[in-house]
Amino acid sequence: MDNLTGLTGIQIAQNIKNSKLSEKDACSFFRERINNNTSLNAFVESYEVPIGADGDSSLKGVPIAIKDNICIKGKKITCASKILSSHTAVYDATVITKLKNAGLKIIGTTNMDEFAFGSSTESSCYGVTKNPWDMQRVPGGSSGGSAAAVAARLVPFALGSDTGGSIRQPASFCGIVGFKPSYGRVSRYGLIAFGSSLDQIGPLTTNFTDCAHLLNIICGFDEHDSTSAPIEKKDFSKSLIEDVTGLRVGMPRQYFAKGIDEEIKNAILGVSRLLKEKGAAIVDIDLPHTEYAVATYYIIGSSEASSNLQRFDGIKYGLRESASGLMDIYKNSRRAGFGDESKRRIFLGTYSLSSGYYDAYYVRALKVRTLIKKDFDDAFKKIDVILTPTSPTAAFKIGEKATDPLSMYLSDIYTISANLAGLPAVSLPCGFTKNNLPIGAQLIAKEFDEETLIRAGYSYQCATDYHKRMPELK
């Protein structure tokens, strides 16, 4: 087999199983693509000998890439930050153990915004990842390296992490499927924390079949993560059914109000039309506290991040700047090691948690978070799934928003609420702009109802071919 780019992960696994393809050749094929497309800057590191044990699963032998904030024992892990640039992981994240046990081949680590702070990968210490659909544009972020790598078929699929949209928004910018599971579905053990109450690891794939099979591998309760949910494991591949008859799809008015590109809006309306044709019921709904989501998210996420990043002090691992006293080692190392966006979040979080401001910011944000959750609870009494755009725009130009943090923050406006409420959500390819940039639609379901997302997404995918389109590359 000479070209594997048209194959899904599952198809590659089947070819390996039927001995039409060796694991080694599969890895070599993708490694070559990685090496031929370094101009994308999607990978931080790719491995000469991919890591993988002798485990088994429906995806055995298939290469996978990992966002550079998930620990792989013995491998460099940096969160795309200078402060960790010399750090090697001393243990495997739970998801890595699961991938190894499933026989997948870890082929490398992917670029990201520093510590996952961003929506464009521009804050990476390794420089921006390019969008394979337009090299002048960002791939989205923070899992931009994973999204670009999958879209460019440098790897069949990848893992990312999603704190406020970091899987879904880059998936939408790159025209692939990006799935954020319910909070607690996937163990966070070994994911370098950004916002502990928001973070969730999830797959970036070209299609829903691979997505369901990868979810089967990475989900499940983990005794090392107290916030992982002790609930029964499901076989998500059973939800790969082309049937949305009777599915109640809610479209929140607040998500189509202002700031949204007309092209994006029309594409999402196209999705709703298609689902309706296939038997779904489309319902207008209200999520009245939507407008507070961004502010709430930036207070809670930054507060948690400011504490999570305290451990990076130059003493135990990573960059250490010399100084005469302990305090100065801390100060110099952190000053030199953290990029601007990280510093901005640390300041923001430290301020929100400071005595005298705590009640007005952090505590108030927690209250609003509860209201946002309640909005969803109320909505899901009438509907099964929510349909929204993933991002108000398609991929923007490199540098376009880099100097305007607020406009950058607003590019997550549609994705943030699912993290605040702990809900599963997915971005799926649903069209292209006239500039040939991918557009993503977001589906959000009830807590732990990943099945509905897979069924709805798969049904849409069966009726469309956006997921099959590939960017032109060397």
- List the catalytic residues: 67, 142, 166
**Which residues 6+ apart lie within 8 Å of 4 measured at CB?**
12, 21, 26, 29, 30, 153, 156
The only residue of 26, 64, 70, 150 in contact with another protein, by rule CB under 8 A: 70
Contact pattern from residue 340 through residue 359 relative to another protein, giving x for each residue in contact according to CB under 8 A and a dash for the rest: ----------x--xxx--x-
Token digits of residue 191: 């994911």
Q: Which long-range contacts (CB under 8 A, 24 or more apart) does 265-270 make?
A: 265/389, 267/389, 267/430, 267/431, 267/439, 267/441, 268/387, 268/388, 268/389, 268/430, 268/441, 270/430, 270/431
Name which of 191 and 430 has its Cβ closer to another protein.
191
The residues in 303-332 that bind another protein, with binding defined as CB under 8 A, are 303-304, 306-307, 310-313, 315-317, 326-327, 330
At closest approach, how far in Å is the CB of 127 from another protein? Answer: 22
**Contact between 448 and another protein per CB under 8 A:** no
At closest approach, how far in Å is the CB of 340 from another protein? Answer: 21
Cβ(418)–Cβ(179) below 8 Å: no
Stretch that binds another protein, among 86-94, 211-219, 244-252, 434-442 (CB under 8 A): 86-94
- Cα-based distances in Å from 91 to 323, 349, 351, 426: 30, 29, 33, 29
Q: Which residue has the tokens 């993708």?
A: 30
At closest approach, how far in Å is the CB of 42 from another protein? Answer: 22
Stretch that binds another protein, among 83-91, 279-287, 370-378, 454-462 (CB under 8 A): 83-91
Cβ(45)–Cβ(132) below 8 Å: no
Residues contacting another protein: total by CB under 8 A: 45
**Contact between 71 and another protein per CB under 8 A:** yes
Cβ(30)–Cβ(43) below 8 Å: no
Cβ(113)–Cβ(122) below 8 Å: yes
Contact pattern from residue 196 through residue 215 relative to another protein, giving x for each residue in contact according to CB under 8 A and a dash for the rest: xx------------------
Contact pattern from residue 19 through residue 58 relative to another protein, giving x for each residue in contact according to CB under 8 A and a dash for the rest: ----------------------------------------
**Which residues 6+ apart lie within 8 Å of 214 measured at CB?**
9, 59, 157, 159, 203, 205
Token digits of residue 23: 């694991």
At closest approach, how far in Å is the CB of 313 from another protein? Answer: 6
The only residue of 26, 27, 77, 379 in contact with another protein, by rule CB under 8 A: 77
- Cα-based distances in Å from 287 to 34, 114, 154, 169: 42, 31, 39, 20
Single-letter amino acid, residue 118? G
Name which of 297 and 330 has its Cβ closer to another protein.
330
H or E segment and range at residue 371: helix 364-379
Single-letter amino acid, residue 55? G
The residues in 215-234 that bind another protein, with binding defined as CB under 8 A, are 223-227
Stretch that binds another protein, among 63-71, 248-256, 262-270, 427-435 (CB under 8 A): 63-71
Q: How many CA atoms lie within 13 A of 211 on its CB side?
A: 32
- Cα-based distances in Å from 283 to 26, 243, 444: 45, 18, 14
Name which of 5 and 332 has its Cβ closer to another protein.
332
**Contact between 79 and another protein per CB under 8 A:** yes
Token digits of residue 386: 């929510």
Name which of 63 and 349 has its Cβ closer to another protein.
349
Cβ(312)–Cβ(305) below 8 Å: no
Stretch that binds another protein, among 117-125, 135-143, 194-202, 412-420 (CB under 8 A): 194-202
Contact pattern from residue 139 through residue 178 relative to another protein, giving x for each residue in contact according to CB under 8 A and a dash for the rest: ----------------------------------------
At closest approach, how far in Å is the CB of 384 from another protein? Answer: 27
Name which of 11 and 350 has its Cβ closer to another protein.
350
Task: For residue 449, report the phi and psi dihedrals to the nearest 5 degrees.
Answer: -105, 55
At closest approach, how far in Å is the CB of 417 from another protein? Answer: 18
Stretch that binds another protein, among 68-76, 146-154, 233-241, 444-452 (CB under 8 A): 68-76
Q: List beta partners, residue 67.
A: 110
The residues in 362-381 that bind another protein, with binding defined as CB under 8 A, are 362
Q: At what angle do helices 262-277 and 450-462 cross, to 10 degrees?
A: 90
At closest approach, how far in Å is the CB of 74 from another protein? Answer: 13
Token digits of residue 452: 């509905």
At closest approach, how far in Å is the CB of 397 from another protein? Answer: 33
The only residue of 34, 59, 62, 93 in contact with another protein, by rule CB under 8 A: 93
At closest approach, how far in Å is the CB of 155 from another protein? Answer: 22
Contact residues for another protein, defined by CB under 8 A: 69-71, 77, 79, 84, 87, 89-91, 93, 188-193, 195-197, 223-227, 303-304, 306-307, 310-313, 315-317, 326-327, 330, 350, 353-355, 358, 362
